[in-house]
Amino acid sequence: MKFSWGEDLPVVARMTAKIRRDDPAEPAPDRDVVVALVGNPNSGKSTLFNCLTGAHQVVVNAPGTTVEVAAQAWKDTAVQLLDLPGAYSLVAHSPGEELTTHAVTGDDAADLVIVVVDATALSRSLYLAGQVGLTGTPVVVAVTMSDIAAGRGVTIDTEALAHLLGVDVVEVDPRTGAGVGQLAAAVSDALVAPRHLHLDAAPAADAAVHEHPLAQVDPRFADAEALFAWVADVQTQVASTPPVRPSRSDRVDGWLMRPWVGVPVFLLVLAAVFQLVTVVAAPAMDAVRWIVADWAGAWVTRGLDAAGAPAWVVGFVTDGLLVGVATVASFVPLIAVVFLAVGALEDSGYLSRASFVADRAMRHLGLDGRAVLPVVVGFGCNLSALASLRTLPSARQRALTALLLPFTSCTARLVVYLMLATVFFPSYAGLVVLAMYVLSAVLVVTVGFVLRHTGFRDLRHEPLVMALPAYQRPRLGALASSATSRTATLVTAAGKVIIVTLALMWLAMAIPVTGGHHFGDVPTADSVHGRATEAIAAVFGPAGFADGGAASALVTGIVAKEVVAGSLAQTYGSDDEPWTDGLRATFERTSGGHGAAAGLAFCVFVLVYTPCLATVAELGRQVGWRAATGSVVASLALAWTLAVIVFQVGARL
């Protein structure tokens, strides 16, 4: 039979209690006994269970899904055998491990535990065995995978192991049934005369370990030290292990972990990614936009005209809705290429190295190393980064990191950079995008440094270590699947906001305020939109883009940054020329002939100014509305100042 992980009560407690309640008065020994199989994942535990019970079940133990434990009578006996989820430790880290831990340590713990020791992973198995032994539960050890270990040059002396552990140790091969009879005999003996793991030989931790800063953080530090010393001691005496050499991954890291090598290499990798994106995605984006806005637009216009639709309806559909749809559709190749490239970096383990470098920077700022996680997440989406702040233990750390996150350049802003960079810097658009990311990182570090030495002087440095995975070859199938689902999710979510916002913008541009024009047939300057953005546009004069269209795009960008590009396309597109030409011509005019400098200043403003409304709302919830308002005002002022500096310097070069 199978049991599923209950809502709030571990199933093993119910199960073992039920078995005992079946005959509470005079429980027969052969009906009352519960034996549990405990071992690392993939140690051969379930195969052993099938062999011992005659079952043919497959146990699925997927993280985050239902955890299952199988229970069946041991062949030809009434002993109930439990196949518990694989566990690496009794310091549980997943529902499956919680279940296993409870089965060993709970009030209704199993009567005896068979610890399945994987000969190919002896250390990890012994560590788990030691933890089981510390609970005081009687133990029998079953050693599996001996043939595979032997193939790797590792042999285990089971007699010596039994002597050291003080319990029966049986070598089994569940696939062939070898050793199963001896295991049954050992279990039978242990049920009559329970034997416990000998941990007395575990060397005590050095006195100095209690003084270590990490020991101050966690009192179990010294206990763990003693347990690992015991594992090493046992392993040395019972197993022959081949010498250890640094892997290729480590030799690569030997170079990449050096700041003066790792940082330039990381920048080169990013530059290559962005260049790839602009070279591959930009033509595809133009093609998609032409198909949706121009080709399909012409068909829709002809159809509506033929149906006798009023001019404003034709304008709303083609210049309002279709421009929005074209903007959303043009994001698809861009986002897909970005996700493929970033996914390959993450899957290979390289992105973790970048996080490691950032982790060091965070520590120099006096931030908790864990702050790097929300910051990295912020480069995807500021909102989810704010949500991930719960990983930080201190409220002050959370507040400081929350104030830095709006300066991380999210994916929505990347779309704006790429579009503007291909318009104003077609030959080296990738480098311009990279410069935006470098500026973003510089702002995070600079603002963090300033805040740390002004309003956040009281933060304490907490000892914490970041561990890196080994490099691996990216899995192409998984990458393609991930990029497809991410692109679909992001484009669907952003698409709704973009289309609705651009439709509303069209309405604002269609309603006349002056000049006696008709609805839907009005020059932008005489529309509600034109009058509203006129005053705002003047503010951007020193930055070189004092134009209502640019100002309008920035205002709509407060709703969501993805809208900025669509808003520019809607404002500067016309029947005579594509929006890119219109934008370039406008910026040339407003900047006095320095359109590229104005375009760069516009990108800088987009990077630094107010994040989207959803992020501001979450920021207010996390740090309070006073601090959030201060953050928004400060980011607007900083964005304007930097945009002006970039334009004024750029125009003079």
Partner 1 sequence: MNRPRLADVLRETATGATPQTVAARLGLDPGLVEAMVDHAQRVGLVWTPTCTSCTASLPTCAGCPLSRG
- Binders of partner 1 among 85-114, rule CB under 8 A? 88-89, 91, 93
| 157 secondary structure, DSSP code | -
3-state secondary structure of 58: coil
Select from 352, 440, 501, 571 the one that contacts partner 1 (CB under 8 A).
352
The H or E element that residue 36 is part of is strand 34-39
How far apart CA 596 and CA 651 sit, in angstroms, is 8
Nearer to partner 1, 442 or 488 (CB): 488
User: Should residue 489 be labelled a site residue for partner 1 when binding is judged by CB under 8 A?
Assistant: yes
DSSP three-state, residue 170: strand
Q: How far is the CB of 273 from partner 1 (least distance, A)?
A: 11
In angstroms, rounded to a whole number, what is the distance separating the alpha carbons of residues 352 and 355?
5
Among 52, 87, 410, 499, binds partner 1 (CB under 8 A): 410
Secondary structure of 224-250 as H, E, C letters:
HHHHHHHHHHHHHHHEECCCCCCCHHH
Q: Which of 67, 70, 104, 121 binds partner 1 (CB under 8 A)?
A: 121
Binding segment for partner 1 among 42-50, 203-211, 269-277, 547-555 (CB under 8 A)?
203-211
- Does residue 65 bind partner 1 (CB under 8 A)? no
Shortest separation between residue 268's beta carbon and partner 1, angstroms: 18
Structure tokens at 418: 């790429």
Phi-psi region of 360 (alpha: psi -120 to 50; beta: other; left: phi over 0): alpha
Distance in Å, CB of 465 to partner 1, minimum? 5
Tell me if 203 contacts partner 1 by CB under 8 A. yes
Whichever of 1 and 470 has its CB closer to partner 1, that residue is 470
Among 49, 74, 127, 605, binds partner 1 (CB under 8 A): 127
411 counts as binding partner 1 under rule CB under 8 A: yes
Tell me which of 485, 514, 574, 629 binds partner 1, using CB under 8 A.
485
Q: Residues in contact with partner 1, total (CB under 8 A)?
A: 85
Is the CB of 379 or the CB of 425 nearer to partner 1?
379
Phi/psi region, residue 82 (left: phi>0; alpha: psi -120 to 50; beta: rest), is beta
Find the shortest distance in angstroms from Cβ 248 to partner 1.
10
Smallest distance from the beta carbon of 130 to partner 1, in angstroms? Answer: 10
Order the strands of the 80-83 sheet from edge to edge.
Answer: 2-4, 68-73, 80-83, 34-39, 112-118, 139-144, 169-171
Based on CB atoms, which residue is closest to partner 1, 293 or 372? 372
For residues 303 and 393, which CB has a smaller minimum distance to partner 1 in the complex?
Answer: 393
If one asks whether residue 60 binds partner 1 (CB under 8 A), the answer comes out as no
**Complex with partner 1: residue 132 or 180, whichever CB lies closer:** 132
> How far, in Å, CA of 463 to CA of 363, rounded?
10
Non-local CB neighbours of 211 within 8 Å, separated by 6+ positions: none
**Distance from C-alpha of 401 to C-alpha of 375, rounded to nearest angstrom:** 8
Instruction: Determine, following the binding rule CB under 8 A, whether residue 425 of this chain makes contact with partner 1.
Output: no
429-458 residues in contact with partner 1 (CB under 8 A) are none
Q: Per CB under 8 A, which of residues 369..408 are in contact with partner 1?
A: 369-370, 372-373, 376-377, 379-381, 383-385, 387-388, 390-391
The answer to whether residue 523 forms part of the interface with partner 1 (CB under 8 A) is no
Member of 35, 114, 342, 628 binding partner 1 (CB under 8 A): 342
Residues listed for the chain: 653
Match 């640094």 to its residue by tokens.
246
Residues 236, 171 contacting (CB under 8 angstroms): no
The C-alpha atoms of residue 413 and residue 624 are separated, in whole angstroms, by 25
Looking at 54-62, 103-111, 368-376, 449-457, which segment touches partner 1 (CB under 8 A)? 368-376
Which residue, 77 or 241, has its beta carbon nearer to partner 1? 241
Q: Could you give the string, one character per residue 286-315, with x where binding to partner 1 holds by CB under 8 A and - elsewhere?
A: ------------------------------
Handedness of CA 37, 42, 43, 46 (dihedral sign): positive
Q: Which two tokens stand for residue 636?
A: 């607007």
Q: Which secondary structure element, helix H or strand E, spans residue 70, and what is its range?
A: strand 68-73
Least spacing, CB of residue 257 vs partner 1, in Å: 4
What is the smallest separation between the CB atom of 161 and partner 1, expressed in angstroms?
15
> What stretch of H or E contains 69?
strand 68-73
Cβ atoms 33, 108 nearer than 8 A: no
Q: Where are the beta strands (DSSP E) in 84-229?
A: 112-118, 139-144, 155-156, 169-171
Out of 481, 514, 574, 629, the residue judged to bind partner 1 by CB under 8 A: 481
Which range binds partner 1 by CB under 8 A, 155-163, 338-346, 439-447, 581-589? 338-346
x/- site string to partner 1, residues 524 to 553, per CB under 8 A?
A: ------------------------------
**Mask: binding to partner 1, 247-266, rule CB under 8 A, as x and -?**
x-xx--x---x---------
CA distance 280 to 339: 13
* Whole-number Cα distances in Å, 152 to 119, 155, 161: 10, 9, 19
Q: How far is the CB of 382 from partner 1 (least distance, A)?
A: 9
Residues pairing with 118 in the sheet: 144
**Hey, which residues between 207 and 226 contact partner 1 (CB under 8 A)?**
209, 212, 214, 217-218, 220-221, 224-225
- Binding-site member from 490, 509, 553, 632 for partner 1 (CB under 8 A): 490
In sequence order, which residues have a C-beta less than 8 Å from that of residue 84 and are 6 or more positions away?
12, 36, 37, 38, 45, 69, 99, 100, 103
CB of 164 to partner 1, least distance (A): 15
Of the pair 212, 531, the CB lying nearest partner 1 is at 212
Residues 6+ away with beta carbon under 8 Å from 500: 324
Largest CA distance in the chain: 102
Q: Are 323 and 566 in contact (CB under 8 A)?
A: yes
Among 494, 553, 565, 639, binds partner 1 (CB under 8 A): 494
**Cβ proximity to partner 1, 283 vs 469, nearer residue:** 469
Q: Is 467 in the site for partner 1 (CB under 8 A)?
A: yes
Q: Is 477 in the site for partner 1 (CB under 8 A)?
A: no
Options 298, 395, 464, 476; binder of partner 1; rule CB under 8 A: 464
Of the two residues 18 and 364, which places its CB atom closer to partner 1 in the complex? Answer: 364
43, 100, 355, 580: which one binds partner 1 (CB under 8 A):
355
The CA distance from 509 to 525, in Å, is 9
Stretch touching partner 1 by CB under 8 A, among 315-323, 433-441, 463-471, 574-582: 463-471
244 touching partner 1, by CB under 8 A: yes
**Integer Cα distance of 138 and 196 in angstroms:** 5
- Contact (Cβ atoms closer than 8 angstroms) between residue 96 and residue 86: yes
Write out 253-287 in H/E/C secondary structure: HHHHCCHHHHHHHHHHHHHHHHHHHHHHHHHHHHH
Shortest spacing between CB 583 and partner 1, in angstroms: 25
- Establish if 470 lies at the interface with partner 1 (CB under 8 A): yes
Measure the CA–CA gap between 215 and 220, rounded to whole angstroms.
7
